């Protein structure tokens, strides 16, 4: 399957979700009306906030960037039957690596950006690899371990910005500013937030599609996700393959954290993600684990997030309404189609690997 055919298949499957997006909007209208607000005013404000100005459009692209990368990370993990719920922590570890390397290592422009991305990828891969190792050696469910590792990563970040990585002046619990050579340039000038990381995220869509559908490793990964018993009988080392998927997934999520620091924040903060790691799971599920479909799915969630502020200001409707829309779309996606590949065999462990 080439990239064009994969994109067509992904967009076709995503198109099947459009009716459920409409249903979610109708549910949101009912909720707004029940609260005594005007649904038309609220939805108009939501749309105008996201698409009614150059700044809104640039903000949608900026917010979609980490969602694309996290969605791709989840696609890789779920395709292998590894339920990575820890992208939030992997984003944080990638951001920590970016804050450290970007602010305290000197390198030429271009090279510095690559170093930061590589460091973030390694940090995210190792963090997700912990959960894979625990599953392999101790039989710990990755759903639990990845969630718990999210909290550990957040506490590590808090400790670092209050201690070793705190800015030199010590005035606030934040990191030092990144060197100019480690920053990602903006695409539309200083007044609009869209940065070049978006181009990297789009390129990663093609890269992940190629990895999953055009390489032997990707094929093995998908076989393991469908049926680990059959994969074992075919001579595939299941734990090693799943560890590769986990490390790849963590690396992509880690780079999402780095790009957020390099392109948006400019330094390490105590809060580097507003929940991209969890929203990315919804992005991947809505895309039905198709890399090409992650792009429009991420744009949808980014538009909802961007427009919610204006909706709250003009229509006095809470930002929580966006979560209602997201929830209805995802629940409908799960109920009416295959959101994740079924793992038909037994749970993998080191005892079954040869």
- Provide DSSP, 16-44: TTHHHHHHHHHHHHHHHHHTT--HHHHHH
For helices 142-161 and 111-133, give the axis angle rounded to 10 degrees: 140
Q: Which of 233-237, 250-254, 347-351 has the lowest mean pLDDT?
A: 347-351
Q: For residue 261, what pLDDT is reported?
A: 96
Q: For residue 350, what pLDDT is reported?
A: 47
Angle at 14 between CA 9 and CA 18, to 5 degrees: 145
The distance from CA 280 to its chain's CA centroid, rounded to whole angstroms, is 4
Q: For residue 28, what pLDDT is reported?
A: 79
Whole-number percent of the chain with pLDDT over 70? 88
Residue 73: pLDDT band (50, 70, 90) is very high
Q: Which of 4-8, 244-248, 262-266 has the lowest mean pLDDT?
A: 4-8
Residue 345: pLDDT band (50, 70, 90) is very low
Residue 10: pLDDT band (50, 70, 90) is low
Q: For residue 136, what pLDDT is reported?
A: 85
Q: Dihedral through CA 230, CA 231, CA 233, CA 239, nearest 10? A: -130
Q: Tell me the backbone φ, ψ of residue 173, rounded to 5 degrees.
A: -80, 70
pLDDT at 9 over 70: no
Tell me which residue has tokens 């400019």. Answer: 266
Average pLDDT over residues 130-158: 93
Measured CA distances, 18 to 267, 289, 297, 342 (Å): 38, 16, 11, 24
CA–CA separation, 6 and 134 (whole Å):
34
Q: For residue 250, what pLDDT is reported?
A: 97
Q: Tell me the backbone φ, ψ of residue 193, rounded to 5 degrees.
A: -80, -5
Domain 3-336 CATH assignment equals 1.20.140: no
Segment 44-72, tens digit of pLDDT = 888 999 998 999 999 999 999 999 999 99
Closest CA to 291 of 203, 204, 209: 209
Query: For the chain, which residues make up each domain, given as ranges?
Result: 3-336
Q: Identify any residues that bridge with 195 across adjacent strands, giving them in sequence order.
A: 186
Question: How would you class 318 by CB atoms within 10 Å of its CB: exposed for 0-12, middle for 13-18, buried for 19 or more?
Answer: middle
Q: For residue 339, what pLDDT is reported?
A: 47
Q: For residue 352, what pLDDT is reported?
A: 45
Q: Is 195 helix (H, G, I), strand (E, B) or coil?
A: strand
Angle at 47 between CA 46 and CA 49, to 5 degrees: 65
């Amino acid at each position: 399957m080439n990239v064009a055919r994969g994109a067509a298949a992904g967009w076709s499957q995503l198109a099947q979700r459009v009716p459920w997006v409409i249903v979610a909007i109708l549910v949101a209208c009912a909720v707004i009306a029940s609260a005594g607000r005007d649904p038309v005013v609220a939805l108009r404000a939501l749309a105008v906030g996201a698409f009614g100005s150059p700044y809104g459009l640039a903000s949608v692209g900026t917010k979609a960037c980490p969602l694309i990368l996290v969605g791709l990370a989840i696609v890789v993990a779920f395709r292998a039957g590894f339920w990575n719920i820890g992208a939030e922590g992997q984003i944080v570890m990638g951001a920590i690596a970016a804050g450290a390397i970007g602010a305290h290592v000197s390198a030429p422009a271009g090279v510095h950006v690559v170093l930061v991305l590589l460091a973030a990828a390694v940090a995210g891969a190792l963090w997700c690899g912990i959960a894979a190792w625990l599953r392999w050696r101790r039989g710990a469910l990755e759903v639990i371990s990845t969630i718990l590792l999210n909290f550990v990563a957040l506490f590590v970040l808090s400790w670092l910005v209050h201690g070793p990585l705190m800015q030199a002046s010590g005035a606030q619990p934040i990191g030092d500013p990144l060197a100019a050579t480690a920053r990602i340039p903006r695409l539309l000038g200083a007044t609009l937030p869209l940065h070049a990381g978006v181009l990297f995220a789009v390129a990663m869509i093609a890269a992940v599609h190629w990895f999953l559908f055009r390489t032997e490793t990707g094929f093995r990964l998908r076989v393991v996700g469908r049926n680990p018993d059959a994969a074992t009988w075919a001579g595939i080392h299941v734990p090693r393959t799943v560890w590769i998927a986990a490390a790849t997934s963590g690396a992509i999520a880690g780079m999402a954290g780095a790009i957020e620091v390099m392109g948006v924040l400019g330094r390490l903060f105590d809060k580097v993600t507003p929940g991209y790691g969890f929203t990315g799971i919804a992005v991947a599920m809505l895309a039905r684990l198709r890399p090409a479909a992650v792009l429009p799915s991420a744009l949808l969630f980014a538009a909802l997030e961007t427009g919610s502020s204006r909706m709250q200001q003009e229509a006095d409707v809470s930002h929580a309404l966006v979560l209602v829309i997201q929830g209805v779309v995802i629940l409908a996606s799960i109920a009416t189609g295959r959101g994740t590949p079924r793992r038909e065999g037994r749970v993998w462990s080191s005892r079954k690997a040869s």
